[in-house]
Amino acid sequence: MFYIVQAMPYKRHILVTGGAGFIGSHVVRLFTNKYDDYQIINLDKLTYAGNLANLKDIENKPNYTFVKADICDFETICRLMEEFQVDGIIHLAAESHVDRSIKDPFTFARTNVMGTLSLLQAAKLYWESKKEGYEGKRFYHISTDEVYGALELTHPEGVKSAHSTHPVYGDDFFHESTKYAPHSPYSASKASSDHFVRAFHDTYGMPTLVTNCSNNYGPYQFPEKLIPLFINNIRHRKPLPVYGKGENVRDWLYVEDHARAIDLIFHQGRIADTYNIGGFNEWKNIDLIKVIIKTVDRLLGHPEGYSSDLITYVTDRKGHDMRYAIDSSKLHEELGWEPSLQFEEGIEKTVRWYLDNQEWMDNVTSGDYQKYYEEMYLGR
Q: Say if CB 250 and CB 290 are below 8 A apart.
A: no
Average per-residue pLDDT in the chain?
Answer: 94
Place 380 in a pLDDT band, splitting at 50, 70 and 90: very low
Give CA–CA dist 221/137, Å, rounded.
30
pLDDT at 166 over 90: no
pLDDT at 359 over 90: yes
Give the pLDDT of residue 376.
58
Report which of residues 368 and 336 the model is more confident about: 336
Rg of the chain (C-alpha set): 20
Q: Say if CB 291 and CB 227 are below 8 A apart.
A: no
Report which of residues 343 and 267 the model is more confident about: 267
Please state the length of the chain.
Answer: 380
What is this structure's pTM?
Answer: 0.94
Specify the DSSP element, H or E, that contains 89: strand 88-91
Place 378 in a pLDDT band, splitting at 50, 70 and 90: low
DSSP for 324-358 reads: --B--HHHHHHH----SS-HHHHHHHHHHHHHHTH
Burial class from Cβ neighbours inside 10 Å (0-12, 13-18, 19+) for residue 359 reads exposed
Instruction: Provide the residue type at 129 as one letter.
Output: S
Catalytic residue among 87, 146, 251, 327: 146
Give CA–CA dist 302/310, Å, rounded.
14
Residue closest to 41 by CA, chosen among 50, 32, 52, 33: 32
Give the pLDDT of residue 9.
86
Task: For 66, list phi and psi in degrees, rounded to 5.
Answer: -105, 140
User: 147-158 pLDDT, tens per residue?
Assistant: 999 999 999 999
Give the pLDDT of residue 342.
86
Helix, coil or strand: residue 70: coil
Provide the CA 320 distance to its chain's centre, in angstroms. Answer: 20
Neighbours of 169 (CB within 10 A): 24
Q: Say if CB 65 and CB 42 are below 8 A apart.
A: yes
Task: For 358, list phi and psi in degrees, rounded to 5.
Answer: -65, -30
Helix, coil or strand: residue 38: strand
Q: Say if CB 50 and CB 93 are below 8 A apart.
A: no
Q: Cα–Cα distances in Å, from 35 out to 14, 24, 254, 340?
A: 11, 16, 22, 21
Give the pLDDT of residue 307.
98
Give CA–CA dist 99/241, Å, rounded.
13
pLDDT at 6 over 80: no
Report which of residues 3 and 248 the model is more confident about: 248
Least confident of 180-184, 259-263, 345-349, 363-367: 363-367
Give the pLDDT of residue 115.
98
Q: Is 186 a catalytic residue?
A: yes
Catalytic residue among 10, 134, 148, 186: 186
Percent of the chain with pLDDT over 70: 95
Q: Is 95 a catalytic residue?
A: no
Give CA–CA dist 186/143, Å, rounded.
11
User: 227-258 pLDDT, tens per residue?
Assistant: 999 999 999 999 999 999 999 999 999 999 99
Give the pLDDT of residue 328.
96
Give CA–CA dist 372/380, Å, rounded.
9
Q: Say if CB 193 and CB 113 are below 8 A apart.
A: yes
User: 87-131 pLDDT, tens per residue?
Assistant: 999 999 999 989 999 999 999 999 999 999 999 999 999 999 999
Least confident of 30-34, 58-62, 370-374: 370-374
Catalytic residue among 44, 145, 251, 256: 145
Give the pLDDT of residue 375.
65
Give the pLDDT of residue 221.
96
Q: Say if CB 43 and CB 19 are below 8 A apart.
A: yes
Instruction: Provide the residue type at 30 as one letter.
Output: L
Q: Is 316 a catalytic residue?
A: no
Bridge partners (DSSP) of residue 240 are 311
Percent of the chain with pLDDT over 90: 88
- Calculate mean pLDDT across residues 317-331: 95
